[in-house]
Amino acid sequence: MEIDWHAERTDLANLAVLDTEHTAEPIDLVAVRAYRLGRVRAEMKKRGIAACLLFDQVNIRYATGARNMQIFSSRNTGRYLLLTEHDAILYEFTGAMHLADGLETLTDVRPAITASFVAAGEKIAEREKLWARETAAALKELVGDKSTIGIERVNAGAAAALAAEGFRLIDAQEPVEMARAIKSAEEMKCVRASLRATEIGVGRLRAAIRPGLTENALWSVLHQAIIEQDGDYVETRLLNSGPRTNPWFQETGMRVIGENELIALDTDVVGCHGYYADFSRTFHSGPDKPSETQRTLYKTAHEQIHHNMAIIKPGMTFRDYSEQAWDIPEKYFANRYYLSSHGVGMTGEYPYLYHRADFPDAGYDGVIEPGMTLCVESFIGKENGGEGVKLEQQVLVTKTGIELLSQFPFEDALLA
């Protein structure tokens, strides 16, 4: 099925009858998982890390493909991974060990010890020590005493108890983030599948726009489409309308969309195969044509992201990107988006690329490499009020430049 993204809204509404054959591309998920696990182990080896204890649910999924109640598990420490050069032991949530059946990345699945106050109450210190003893026993068997262990997102008492067992603990974020930064060709098929499904959802959302609809009702159109197409969830609720479009980061609510207003959306979709589809669009509610002010905002944001996409090239340093990035006019500077660009994979990730003015305080250097996927951002809105425009494109860094990944069109009426 060929989709005409520039069709009238009535035609876009017909996407409610879903035909996804146009997105079907065979994906070797075993190869995807093997690549990702190999990336993490290689980054651990570079840093002399004998084992990692991962509690971040996205990192566990990245390393092994194992998933279980991802949002719940992100705030409840009842599920974690012990990863070494040769072993990958998943400590799974109570009653859920069967969910990892058949995953070739795992060498064992064991019941987790939940070291949290919710689970242990006033006996939390005792539970933390129990967790540390059991974990230390496994680590000593696999990598020996006094080894360097990477760890993340465990509560402070548990970390202290594990350190008391004689291990050197360091933060595991760096090796995992560096591993995730470079995508394989097979992994990119997952990214594209997630984007195509999300674009269908945004097409349905665009078709549903009308004055009198609440922001929540409109946003729910995207959410329903994502779930229907086997996506996971929408990580944020960044849809707003009219005066709520500026400043940015106002989450969708019960406001009723008025006539001739701007509607700004950031997808932030954890979609097919757990990969992030992250692009932003701003629409107009009609029934009249956009105003000159609305068009100016839109065209300014459009100029920013296209300038910054044009300068991205492999081998470029983060500092050089910042120096060459688009100059934000003073009247829009205060309400600028906090990043110029950022990495993206299963979620937003390394690297963060900052605006020139922010680089001295917030920026860090590095190199843009082939295989990185980046989101190029813009928010344009005046500090003293009025509407704002959010636009964003997702790209792949290639050996010669970039490949545009997000294909949903911009609004011709707002570019006129």
Which of 82, 83, 114 is closest to 96 using CA atoms? 114
CB-based contact 387:381 (threshold 8 Å): yes
At residue 76, the pLDDT reads: 82
At residue 24, the pLDDT reads: 65
CB-based contact 70:234 (threshold 8 Å): no
At residue 272, the pLDDT reads: 96
Residue type, 69: M
Report the relative pairing of strands 269-270 and 233-234 from DSSP bridges: antiparallel
How far are the Cα atoms of 326, 365, 400 from residue 307, in angstroms, in the given order?
Answer: 6, 21, 17
CB-based contact 346:58 (threshold 8 Å): yes
Q: What's the CA gap between 247 and 355, in Å, rounded?
A: 18
Phi and psi, residue 98, nearest 5°: -70, -15
Which residue's structure tokens are 């997952």? 190
Residues with Cβ within 8 Å of 79's Cβ and at least 6 positions away in sequence, in order, are: 55, 57, 60, 68, 69, 73, 90, 91, 92, 93, 96, 112
Show the low-confidence residues of the chain (pLDDT under 70): 1-24
Residues with Cβ within 8 Å of 138's Cβ and at least 6 positions away in sequence, in order, are: 82, 89
Residues with Cβ within 8 Å of 296's Cβ and at least 6 positions away in sequence, in order, are: none
Q: What's the CA gap between 48 and 263, in Å, rounded?
A: 49
At residue 263, the pLDDT reads: 98
At residue 185, the pLDDT reads: 97
Cα R_g (the chain), whole angstroms? 23
Structural domains in the chain, CATH included, are: 29-180 (3.40.350.10), 182-415 (3.90.230.10)
CB-based contact 180:62 (threshold 8 Å): yes
At residue 75, the pLDDT reads: 84
Cα 82 to chain centroid, rounded: 23
